Amino acid sequence: MVIGSRPNAVKEAHMRVVGTVGQAMLAYCFALCLAQSALCQAPGDAQRRANAARPRTSVTPEARALHRQSLVIDGHNDLPWQLREKGSLSFDALNLNQLQPDFHTDLVRLREGGVGGQFWSVYVPASTARRGTALRETLEQIDLVHAMIERYPQQLELARSAADVTRIHRHGKIACLIGVEGGHAIEDSLQVLRKLYGLGARYMTLTHSDTLSWADSATDKPRHGGLTAFGEEVVREMNRLGMLVDLSHVSAETMRDALRVSSAPVIFSHSSARAIADHPRNVPDDVLRRLVPNGGVVMINFYSGYVVPDAARRGVEHTRVAAELRKEFPADEPYRRALARWEAQHPVSRGTIHDVVDHIDHVVRVAGVDHVGLGSDFDGVDVLPDQLEDVSCFPNITQELLRRGYRREQIQRVLGGNVLRALRSAETVAGKESTRQ
Ligand SMILES: [Zn+2]
């Protein structure tokens, strides 16, 4: 492989663990080499029984045709982060027109998966804020997305509006949208936020794994009970710009505050339902219900750790164990070894596509079919359900939704119509009803 043999650099499993020894530490998912093979094939007993009862999906010609006729928009793909992690910043060394088995994403499989619009995450870790390099590194990631689009002009085009997305899709290309993952990128500056919008950012996730000076994260100690006054100002400025407010990664209180303040629909670019898989990264039912008056959309994350109930429990336990081990082993190496031992003994239940569609069903039951979408998190996670291993797998979702009795137009809303409506509506709120076709 051109890009080396390291396992995927996982970011979604990063959780901030608050220990008693000094400052909080990031707990990383270790033993990934072990994990890639062992974790993926070792579901727990309950999971094995559940999977056996639900056969593999097989895409029918009807589902394939419907999928082809739909505008499929994925809310979150971390290919830019993978490229950065693996040091493959040149598309001379890495040809996205060829299969890239080290990644979940390449142009060959995006076509196979029928993806028409992609939000590319320009994530950089929250730790960059502590180093004072958050904005610089975010700009580098935006530059990387622009370079990718320039390199593949026949297949990709930057979309700055909902109208751009439909136009680019009509021309048979993939509309590329940019999502900033983590408000640390703006370095507490609304001017920077405006500049990021100018460079093409069409959503910003208010936090990543760490609580900021103006917003609480779901995976860190809450400090503000949601958003501060400046946090509310950030939301209002995003509304004014027409940038979608993304509530993945934030605490439930931050979700509620943002929903109270935002005059435009919000999104969750990659989050699942908490009632099904009880993990703080997922969305509680009261917040799902608030999406109805807001017009917002939860784009379901495919990561096994957020969709499979067993795996979500294991994730929460992982955070607790990591904090305890940190107390026991203040030095990094022994701590890492102890955590890796625990992880090897507690593999993640991988689950199947059915687990993911269960989350779609739940959001539909609680909020309605107008409030759910897809936010894969491909190339940001290490364990994915059976039949959702990479970007070529999206047609399996269309098939499973058909099998579960969804009507064609409902499926098209889930696949992309809902998030496009939310973006269009955010543009209207900003007074930017696009006339560009
Ligand atoms: Zn994320």
User: How far, in Å, from the CA of 302 to the mean position of ligand 1?
Assistant: 11
User: How far, in Å, from the CA of 133 to the mean position of ligand 1?
Assistant: 19
User: How far, in Å, from the CA of 249 to the mean position of ligand 1?
Assistant: 7
Identified catalytic residue from 169, 184, 208, 359: 208
**Spatial separation of the C-alpha atoms in residues 96 and 102, rounded to whole Å:** 12
Radius of gyration of the chain measured on its C-alpha atoms = 20
Distant-in-sequence, close-in-space partners of 395: CB < 8 Å, separation ≥ 6 = 59, 63, 64, 67, 113, 114
**Spatial separation of the C-alpha atoms in residues 308 and 47, rounded to whole Å:** 8
Least confident of 82-91, 352-361, 391-400: 82-91
Give the number of residues written for the chain: 437
* Residue 372 DSSP code: E
Residue found under tokens 């949208």: 177
Which pLDDT belongs to residue 35? 33
- Give DSSP secondary structure letters for 285-344: HHHHHHHHHHT-EEEE---HHHHSHHHHHHHHHHHHHHHHHHHH--SHHHHHHHHHHHHH
Which pLDDT belongs to residue 53? 78
Domains of the chain by residue range = 59-315+351-429
**Spatial separation of the C-alpha atoms in residues 418 and 355, rounded to whole Å:** 21
Distant-in-sequence, close-in-space partners of 428: CB < 8 Å, separation ≥ 6 = none
157 is catalytic: no
> Residue 374 belongs to what H/E stretch?
strand 372-374
User: How far, in Å, from the CA of 242 to the mean position of ligand 1?
Assistant: 22
C-alpha dist (Å) from residue 239 to 87, 426, 429: 35, 7, 7
Of 211, 198, 71, 187, which Cα lies nearest the Cα of 136? 187
Identified catalytic residue from 14, 104, 184, 270: 270
Q: Please report which confidence band the pLDDT of residue 44 belongs to, taking 50, 70 and 90 as the band edges.
A: low
**Spatial separation of the C-alpha atoms in residues 409 and 337, rounded to whole Å:** 51
User: How far, in Å, from the CA of 8 to the mean position of ligand 1?
Assistant: 15
| Of residues 38 and 148, more confidently modeled | 148
User: How far, in Å, from the CA of 10 to the mean position of ligand 1?
Assistant: 10
pTM: 0.89
318 is catalytic: no
User: How far, in Å, from the CA of 52 to the mean position of ligand 1?
Assistant: 30
**Spatial separation of the C-alpha atoms in residues 429 and 437, rounded to whole Å:** 19
Answer whether CATH 3.20.20.140 is correct for domain 59-315+351-429: yes
76 is catalytic: yes
For 59, the token pair is 């895409």
Report the phi/psi class of residue 368: left, alpha or beta, with left for phi > 0 and alpha for psi in -120 to 50.
left
Identified catalytic residue from 157, 181, 232, 246: 181
CA geometry: angle at 160 spanning 171 and 154, to 5°?
35
pLDDT, tens only, 226-267:
999 999 999 999 999 999 999 999 999 999 999 999 999 999
User: How far, in Å, from the CA of 53 to the mean position of ligand 1?
Assistant: 31
Identified catalytic residue from 78, 220, 310, 358: 78
**Spatial separation of the C-alpha atoms in residues 266 and 405, rounded to whole Å:** 28
Strand pairing category for 25-27 and 15-17:
antiparallel
User: How far, in Å, from the CA of 386 to the mean position of ligand 1?
Assistant: 21
User: How far, in Å, from the CA of 14 to the mean position of ligand 1?
Assistant: 9
Identified catalytic residue from 224, 249, 279, 359: 249
208 is catalytic: yes
pLDDT, tens only, 188-199:
999 999 999 999
User: How far, in Å, from the CA of 340 to the mean position of ligand 1?
Assistant: 22
Flag whether pLDDT at 42 surpasses 50: no
220 is catalytic: no
For 426, the token pair is 């955010």
End-to-end CA, the chain: 40
Which pLDDT belongs to residue 10? 65
Q: In angstroms, how far is CA 349 from the centroid of its own chain?
A: 19
Instruction: Output the average pLDDT for the chain.
Output: 89
